[in-house]
Amino acid sequence: MSKNPPHDDDRSAGPRTERPKVRLYLEHPLGKGQHVDVSQDQAHYLLNVMRLRENDVVALFNGRDGEWAARLVDTGKKRATLRVESPTAPQQRPPDLWLLFAPIKKARTDFIVEKAVELGVARIQPVQTEFTNAERIRRDRLQAHAVEAAEQSGGTFVPEVAELESLRRVLARWPEGRVLWWADEGLAGGALAEPAPAPAAILIGPEGGFSPTERARLAALPFVRRLSLGPRILRADTAAVSALTLWQARHGDWGV
């Protein structure tokens, strides 16, 4: 699969304008007529991987100003400058939904972050539980995965991937008014609950599940709701995708 799949053609009345197929996230402000110098890695991607040349058009977004078409106006061996020309998509934020999850094996943790961005979350919070296998994460690497997922999926928002924190500390400072949906493997086979609307969060445990102490604490917190994900116990990465899909279909921006 390519990093930037083609968008559907605009079949509305009038001349057909094709949106750029290559998308880049950057932190630079975006506005008509601005010139933007991309990083060396991004220049390498545009010029050597995607084989773009001067006058080709790229889509740019920064998570604040929507998506803009920008034209390559100057290139070198390790550099590229683009001129921002016109908006191509408005800024869209996902629903106010957080994902809390215990890191698992590297590739599967990457999968959880990637799919969380594609499905639409506002914040990703890795948590350390008593049975969490990973004692540390590369936050910068996971954030880069989030950026790439937003570039590929057509999103204009990149959620923050927070530093790994203990579940105990995260729960101790939980914000008022936000419901935490605990995907409880102990409810496997039970009736499906109706997730509450935003602001909300979903908690996915480690491969070994939550400890008895953690389960007792979660059950006692007034902002926690237990969530069943069907008749079978799911792997952590499957549970994350399933819970996010369930919430988005009922309270999110999917228009279901």
How many CA within 13 A on the CB side of residue 29?
Answer: 4
Q: Tell me the per-residue pLDDT of 74-96, one tens digit each, with 9 for 90 and over.
A: 998 889 999 999 999 999 999 99
At which residue do the structure tokens 């506005």 appear? 31
Of 160, 139, 126, 159, the residue nearest 236 (C-alpha): 126
Which H or E run contains 179?
strand 179-183
Q: Which CATH superfamily is domain 23-89 in?
A: Hypothetical PUA domain-like; domain 1 (2.40.240.20)
Q: Tell me the per-residue pLDDT of 41-75, one tens digit each, with 9 for 90 and over.
A: 999 999 999 999 999 999 999 999 999 999 999 99
Tell me the angle at which helices 139-153 and 106-119 cross, rounded to the nearest 10 degrees.
40
| Sequence spans of domains, the chain | 23-89, 97-251
Q: What is the model's pLDDT at position 47?
A: 93
- The predicted model scores a pTM of 0.85
The dihedrals phi and psi of 117, each to the nearest 5 degrees, come to -65, -45
Which tokens sit at 47? 């010029």
**CATH class, 97-251 region:** alpha beta
Which tokens sit at 57? 């058009």
